[in-house]
Copies of this chain bind each other. A is one copy, B any other.
Amino acid sequence: MGKSNKKSSKKSQIAIQKSVLCQELKPFGIGLVGFGTIGTGVVHTLTENRDVISKNLGLSLKLVKIVDIDVKKDRGVKVSPALLSTDYRDATRNPDVQVVIELIGGTHPAREIVEDGLRNGKHVVTANKELISKHGRELHETARRHGVCLLHEASVGGGIPILTPLLTCLKANRIKQVVGIVNGTTNYILTRMEQEGVEFENALKEAQQKGYAEADPTSDVDGYDSAYKIAILTSVAFGKGVRVEQIYREGIRKVTRRDIQYAGELGYRIKLIAVSRATEGGQDVRVHPALLPLSHPLASIHGVLNAVYVEGSPIGSLMFVGEGAGASATSSAVIGDVIEIAEGRAQNTGRLRDLYEKTEIVGTEKLSFPFYMRMIVDDKPGVLADITSILSEKCVSISSVVQKARIADKAEIVWLTHPSPEKSVREAVAQIRKLRCVKEIPSVIHVM
């Protein structure tokens, strides 16, 4: 045995040396489409870390083409004018390009560009969460048909390695739930509301001034961005494809600093969470603000940080924390994907990435949660009795009730319920709202 083994080991040694040699001779060509903030970050990192990348990789990554509608603007990075083009086909159909990086965002024309790349035998790397959450399945199928890879680590959690670990290291696990704080803008706003005691509108303005929020903040504050990301996490962690429009989605516009303060007094912190859970009734996927107990790992994720919490068997619980946006962090994930492909690993990631089943989301009406409710009521006898009798009729049981501030002749009451069917809680709230003694129910928030 010893002898034949020596021979074969010598052979494999030569083979390894040869392959290293070949790789070193042939750079891996990149066609970058989208030369905005993230695109500039990618070019910057490729230049700045050229030595690290080639040392770690044993082959060099080469920018072959950079495409953008505006190729005149100075981005503060040195780029040979010969690399620039306004026609994406200079990237997607370039014989020197092995991988197309799509960083223009949105679904159109991003989808056409990605498809053109895949159909022309190019691997594709993208950070585009909207595109992948809406058309990932078809695009993955196209990639598979053409024998190339479509990677999108940067589409969730920016630079945080989360999709790749789920698809590799954690593959032996039965994933039970994934809960993410996957939108840095809203987490920043909620953190400022808590720390500075300001209202949503002021915190939003501050986030806009600091460049954390867009002029039109809808995608972030109304939870669309988080919904895209939890749809992608659902496909990767559970192998289930859900339609983004089906995801229950509630943003943070209605969260007030008063709720944040009361939550704190009760031992909770309010976060915008994106959840995906395997339940007996089906896949539970939703985005909404929630009161997290202060002891929950996600409760200590502050500011623009993102975090993804994973529960599975046998792993138990895990959390990945990092910068969920920004050109630098995102470029790490984008180039990481390019390296996955260049080193030939992505080609072997197997099934999960593209063979996920289409699945329906279980309606929140079938699920039970504890709820936090804040009500403004007349400060007079019998009010509590009226409210509790409705709650009791709907089988919503109360775990605690606190009378908070008194405003004129009104009282503010905060309720925490035991886990109750969401449908019953919503119905009870609708009935309570109709009571004469109830002036307002400003907040009904999930508790985790």
Known A5-B119, A297-B321; further 17 A-B contacts with Cβ < 8 A: A1-B93, A8-B121, A9-B145, A13-B145, A15-B147, A56-B171, A56-B351, A58-B350, A169-B333, A169-B340, A173-B332, A314-B327, A314-B331, A316-B326, A320-B320, A320-B321, A344-B348
> A172 on the interface (CB 8 Å rule)?
yes
From A59, which residue of chain B is reached at the shortest CB distance? Answer: B350
Residue in A164, A316, A323 whose Cβ sees the most chain B Cβ within 10 Å: A316
A25 at the interface (CB under 8 A from B): no
Q: Which residues of B contact A323 (CB under 8 A)?
A: 315-318
Whether A71 is near chain B, meaning CB under 8 Å from some CB there, is no
- Decide if A319 is an interface residue (CB 8 Å cutoff): yes
> Is A349 interfacial (CB-CB < 8 Å)?
yes
Contacts of A173 in B (CB 8 A): 49, 52, 332
A352 contacts B by Cβ under 8 Å:
yes
B351 touches A144 (CB 8 A): no
Inside 8 A of A313's CB, which chain B residues have their CB?
48-49, 328
Q: Tell me whether A202 is interfacial, beta carbon within 8 Å.
A: no
Check B332–A170 contact: CB distance below 8 A: yes
A21 to chain B, nearest CB (A): 13
CB of A329 within 8 A of chain B?
A: yes
A256: interface (CB < 8 Å):
no
Please list 11 pairs of residues, one from A and one from B, whose beta carbons are closer than 8 Å in the complex, sorted by A's number: A1-B120, A52-B172, A57-B350, A165-B165, A165-B169, A168-B340, A169-B332, A169-B340, A314-B329, A315-B329, A345-B349
On chain A, the number of residues with a Cβ less than 8 Å from chain B's Cβ atoms is 75
Q: Which residues of B contact A5 (CB under 8 A)?
A: 119-121, 146
Query: At the interface, yes or no: A336 with Cβ under 8 Å from chain B?
Result: yes
The CA-CA distance from A5 to B142 in the complex, in Å, is 12
Pick the interface stretch among A96-104, A153-161, A212-220.
A153-161
Q: Determine the residue in chain B with the shortest Cβ distance to A175.
A: B52
A351 contact from B57, B297, B335, Cβ within 8 A: B57
Which residue of the partner chain B has the closest CB to A2?
B119
Binding site for B on A (CB under 8 A): 1, 5, 8-9, 11-13, 15-16, 41, 44-45, 48-49, 52-53, 55-58, 93, 119-121, 144-147, 153, 159-161, 164-165, 168-174, 239, 297, 300, 312-323, 326-329, 331-333, 335-336, 339-340, 343-345, 348-352
Q: Which residues of the partner chain B approach A1 to less than 8 Å between Cβ atoms?
A: 93, 120
Instruction: Give chain B residues whose Cβ lies under 8 Å from the Cβ of A315.
Output: 159, 322-323, 328-329, 332
Q: Is the CB of A170 within 8 A of B174?
A: no
| Cα distance, A431 to B397, chains bound together (Å) | 67
Question: Is there contact, CB below 8 Å, between A171 and B57?
Answer: yes
Inter-subunit contact B317/A319 (CB<8 Å): no
* Bound form: Cα–Cα A391–B318 in Å: 44
A369 to chain B minimum Cβ distance, whole angstroms, is 25
Contact between chains at A322 and B331 (CB < 8 Å): no
Residues of B within 8 A of A314 (CB): 41, 44-45, 48-49, 159, 327-329, 331-332
Q: Which of B11, B319, B321, B343 contacts A349 (CB 8 A)?
A: B343
Which residue of chain B is the closest to A173 with respect to CB atoms? B332
A325 to chain B, nearest CB (A): 11
Q: How far, in Å, is A307 (CB) from chain B's closest CB?
A: 9
Which residues in B have their C-beta under 8 angstroms from that of A351? 55-58
Q: Which 8 A-B pairs have the closest CB atoms?
A: A12-B147, A161-B169, A314-B328, A172-B335, A318-B322, A161-B165, A169-B336, A315-B332
Complex contacts, A53 vs chain B, CB 8 Å: 171-172
